[in-house]
């Protein structure tokens, strides 16, 4: 079996080919088993790999999203990057819908900048500030409550820091973090999204998550940004924010978060093509 794939960077910055979050999109994956998809994702060893499959419920294309260890119902940068490939394949135009386990996600493009509209989210759990601070190497005074588990399709812990220095010095403790695995939606893993407003309409964020026995960092996390939007809406806030992420792992990334007055959450960013290839199975 021969399969074509594309490599992209999502939430990239103009002029920098190594910015953003890398993604592999496997085309014509309808005949692959789940075990094969998981094996390919493990082979690429990126934060996520997506697979184009037949759509459902009137969507333009279907997508399955796998980390090296498990399948995700929804993830942000895979949604935007896969939409970019769907358009390139001539399956849809600048406005399209992707079906995935979390439901139908509408996506729109302006050039190579793509924006998704997240499904309605919810706050699923409240945590003590000190217990979340401790699992990422911070003191209770470094976080501002409420610290909550939020989900628009992928559950994560949203934790606001008192200042940007606290965001930057955080270090994940995998054993401590694993106690807060989000409702099983991350395959038993935990993601803590630390963020702080750094100016008018500006946010700096980091996503620390467990993978196996390690705590590592994601360069740009669209699902967590969507969850932050739901968190902000729950606090009665709306507006537009530019979110900076990934500097600590050498992958500077830019996400644009919009929270409407009705609570609608949109996340967007630049998608950059990097390469393509063939898999022989």
C-beta of residue 250 within 8 angstroms of C-beta of residue 11: no
d(CA 32, CA 30): 6
Instruction: Establish whether 48 is a catalytic residue.
Output: yes
Structure tokens at 48: 């996520």
CB-side neighbour CA atoms (13 Å) of 257: 33
Catalytically annotated residue among 34, 48, 71, 276:
48
Distance CA 42, CA 11 (A): 22
User: Rounded to an integer, what distance in angstroms lies between the CA atom of residue 56 and that of residue 61?
Assistant: 8
Kindly list the distances between the CA atom of residue 67 and the CA atoms of 24, 75, 141, in Å, as whole numbers in the listed order. Answer: 11, 10, 33
Sign of CA pseudo-dihedral 87, 91, 80, 32: negative
Residues annotated as part of the active site: 48
């Amino acid at each position: 079996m021969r399969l074509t794939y594309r490599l992209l960077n999502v939430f990239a910055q103009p002029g920098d080919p190594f910015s953003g979050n890398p993604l592999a999109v496997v085309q014509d994956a309808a005949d692959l088993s789940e075990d094969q998809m998981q094996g390919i994702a493990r082979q690429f060893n990126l934060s996520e790999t997506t697979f184009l499959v037949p759509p459902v419920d009137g969507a333009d294309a279907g997508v399955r999203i796998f980390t090296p260890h498990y399948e995700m119902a929804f993830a942000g940068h895979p949604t935007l990057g896969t939409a970019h490939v769907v358009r390139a394949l001539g399956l849809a135009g600048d406005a399209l819908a992707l079906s995935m386990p979390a439901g139908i996600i509408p996506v729109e493009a302006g050039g190579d900048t793509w924006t998704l509209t997240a499904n309605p989210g919810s706050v699923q759990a409240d945590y003590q500030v000190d217990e979340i601070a401790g699992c990422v190497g911070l003191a209770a005074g470094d976080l501002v409550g409420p610290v909550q588990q939020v989900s628009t399709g992928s559950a994560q812990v949203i934790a606001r820091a008192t200042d940007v220095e606290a965001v930057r010095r955080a270090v994940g403790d995998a054993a401590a973090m694993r106690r807060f695995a989000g409702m099983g939606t991350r395959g038993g893993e935990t993601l803590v999204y630390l963020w702080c407003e750094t100016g008018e309409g500006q946010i700096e964020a980091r996503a620390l998550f467990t993978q196996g026995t390690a705590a590592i960092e994601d360069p740009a996390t669209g699902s967590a940004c969507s969850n932050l939007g739901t968190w902000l809406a729950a606090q009665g806030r709306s507006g537009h924010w530019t979110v900076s992420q990934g500097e600590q792992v050498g992958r500077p990334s830019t996400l644009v978060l919009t929270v409407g007055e009705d609570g609608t959450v949109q996340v967007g960013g630049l998608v950059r093509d990097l390469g393509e290839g063939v898999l022989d199975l």
